[in-house]
Amino acid sequence: MKDLLLEIGTEELPAHVVDLGTKQLQEKAKELLAEHRIGHGPVSVWGTPRRLVLSITQVEEEQADLLEEVKGPPASIAFAEGQPTKAAIGFAERQGVEVSELVVKKTPQGEYVFAQRKEQGLPSREILPELLPQLIAALSFPKTMRWGEVDFRFPRPIRWLVALFGDEVVPFSIAGVDSGNLSWGHRFYCSGPVPVTPSTYLDDLRRAWVIVDGDERRQTIIRLVEEAAKACGGQVLWDEDLLAEVTNLVEYPVAVWGEFGSDMLELPREVLITPMKEHQRYFAV
């Protein structure tokens, strides 16, 4: 078994798209893997403004074999005095099996002849190059765009793709971008591509100034904002909607505090807090 990693690197996504995209990645990945008979372990998804990420551990290296059963003619027609009739012989030929391999089973309609065909499972590395582009194309968003000359729609332009099955690149191309093993770190703090592996991905990106896990970013924001508020002698007026939005607007949170003239406090509280939240995405203290 191997671990699978897919990272869709983009221009900055709207905050609400991050959660929508990761939720769909998880759901549709499970559906496609089940459809292709590929067993797997836990499925994790993460998102930042510049990436949607799928990580699946313990992915089987081969499809499960498929045992297909095809119903044929009634047993009374397929056999006469224990010998196969033309009906049985013709059915076996059409199904690509020997007459001796036919089985008789009871059904609510009586006894019927069945042919059992076994389809050998393919290596997962041969299936994933087709499955992963299908997965990306299956993601649905309220608003999408085209860019360049590519005939593909996504909320923002796709700039890079990471696709790894173990340490092996899963080769495919979508929207004119080829998959590989190189991610990108923080837009301003990291200047070059970042080699990654499925097992070290989170740490690889952390060293490139990106906290990929949204829950960790959220807790980091809470801690840093609380510390900043304490430093200026204030108390944070937390807003859960704003916290959720800011979590998906940053890749490596850093908190700073600012102030305005005390004469502004003559204005109603809502007049001060609402613009800070709606326009600046500031946390009021």
Query: What was the pLDDT predicted at 270?
Result: 87
CA dihedral 16, 31, 56, 135 (to 10 degrees): -60
Decide if pLDDT at 34 tops 90: yes
Decide if pLDDT at 47 tops 90: yes
Task: Report the greatest alpha carbon distance in the chain.
Answer: 105
Query: What was the pLDDT predicted at 265?
Result: 81
Query: What was the pLDDT predicted at 276?
Result: 83
- In percent, the amount of the chain with pLDDT more than 90 equals 81
Query: What was the pLDDT predicted at 269?
Result: 82
Split at pLDDT 50, 70, 90, the class of 110 is very high
List, for residues 55-90, the tens digit of each pLDDT value: 999 999 999 999 888 999 999 999 998 899 999 999
Query: What was the pLDDT predicted at 150?
Result: 86
Q: Token digits for 89?
A: 């012989």
Domains of the chain, by residue range, sit at 2-62+122-206, 66-119, 214-280
Q: What's the average model confidence in pLDDT over 204-214? A: 98
Phi, psi of 120 (to 5 degrees): -65, 135
